[in-house]
Chains A and B, each alone.
Chain A
């Protein structure tokens, strides 16, 4: 399980889990679950297109997830945010359907793009994944304070001169990069589970951001490692285990919060003003 070609898998999966844990923390904090869900699903079309014209999958993923991020940012200023995300998503998926119908790929390849493939990772793929991962982590570190501020208290952030829109675009780009590197391993449809399950559990346990982020990385690592190990033995898709474990993490987090709520009164959680169309 740890020999030969599996070594690459472990290295890449570890990088993916660390990045997903860190980026996912902000996904949960900002409540951008839909975007984090839509980008990978849409980026899948890029992978299909890349395999059609015969370039590296990672390039196709990168191009599509970046275009998706910018499209969501652009449309999001002009329409309701969830509608913008949904539209960007379906357009990319529509292209994906077209590329798939042109290509002569067999079902297993399509399937592994959608649901993950841990066994087919070559040595050449480690370097790009490591670089992209490092870029994501550094970007998050650099914009940590403004990102934190605009996520938790958008109004205060604006007052301090943090441009919410710019931060949003930067964050979307980081999300796009994280997506492109994680997609070949976990699969388009389930990266998102890895990005929100662990951080949601971590946030339920602690309120301190750095501790929560660390915990989120640890849980993400555990999730991926267990998923790969079990997937290796059962030969079942790795995505199944990632999705299930993430749901279990979330449930555990909810249970923990419920237990704690008996002692602590309501935590001060930032609520987004517009998410309730009701109150206008």
Chain B
């Protein structure tokens, strides 16, 4: 290996076991988030995705209490919360945001309590940071099969419901007319989102999982309007951001100020933002003629 490469890949990057697991798990998770995220963004459910990510912290903190892997907690609570949201969710989007927010608030309240117990009753004082901001280098290789299964389920749901979801994202009325079970499709899609964010919660943290879900998909939406291509772009951008993030975090071990390494989550988020801004400027001219964006931006 030559010197330039040595400067990019710090020694040991390719031989360290935690890095291998991080790259593998992070890649799979980013792939799933990118695919599911495309539907999240198209359906205007970014907020639901964000809320589910936050709520997964509840399960994460509970799992520290009872001593199981956080992934079980993340996935369990966010899928349950998705069910509750779907149940009480009002069809009008404005009411939906409120219902989402209330469920998130109640979930985070519980998370506060569990984390309080984590820090006072057990000796895991790092629990809040681990759960909320992720720790990709501490994923045990035993979790890989579980991650794979959850990923398959999430992608499977979206794959099976590909056409109905696409149709109901574009026009709910049309979907109803065509006989799509909009309600069930919506609920299943929310479940897939819940699985995707709980997967990202273990890599970049519960409250940052929105980044992998929404960022790559929003970038892809800037680049193309063809659904298949959008899915591909989104997945590629997500995986690229995660892998580069892992690499930079590994390198940053020798950076100032602390010599403890910079968090992976930070790099992933910054890379996603850079990709998004690049896509924004790249796609600007092509977009000028279409005027769908202003209409969407009223959705405040």
Contacts and interface: CB of A to CB of B under 8 A. Distances in A.
A, B assembled together: yes
A218 to B, nearest CB: 19
A87 interface: yes
A122 interface: no
A280 interface: yes
A276 B280 CA distance: 24
Interface in A28-73: 28, 30-38, 41
A168 to B, nearest CB: 6
Interface string B53-89: 0100000000000000000000000000000000010
Contacts of A237: 112-113, 115-116
Contacts of B207: 41, 93, 189
A80 B293 contact: yes
Interface in B83-106: 88, 92-94, 97-98, 100-106
Interface stretch (A2-10, A125-133, A241-249): A241-249
A41 to B, nearest CB: 7
A234 to B, nearest CB: 10
B15 interface: no
Given A90-B211, A190-B105, A190-B109, A274 B263 contact: no
B169 A277 contact: yes
B47 interface: yes
Nearest to B182: A278
A98 B263 contact: yes
A246 B105 contact: yes
Q: Which of B51, B112, B171 has the most CB of A within 10 A?
A: B112
Interface string A97-120: 110111000111011001110000
B128 interface: yes
B130 to A, nearest CB: 10
Interface string B98-129: 10111111111111110110010000011111
A86 B298 contact: no
Contacts of B133: 96-97, 100
Given A81-B299, A110-B129, A275-B92, 19 more contacts: A34-B46, A37-B47, A78-B280, A78-B293, A79-B218, A79-B293, A85-B47, A86-B49, A86-B218, A87-B218, A90-B208, A90-B210, A91-B270, A97-B205, A97-B263, A101-B261, A272-B299, A273-B295, A278-B174
Interface of A: 28, 30-38, 41, 76-87, 89-91, 93-98, 100-102, 106-108, 110-111, 114-116, 154, 168, 187, 189-190, 192-193, 196-197, 200, 236-237, 239-244, 246-247, 250, 254, 269, 271-280
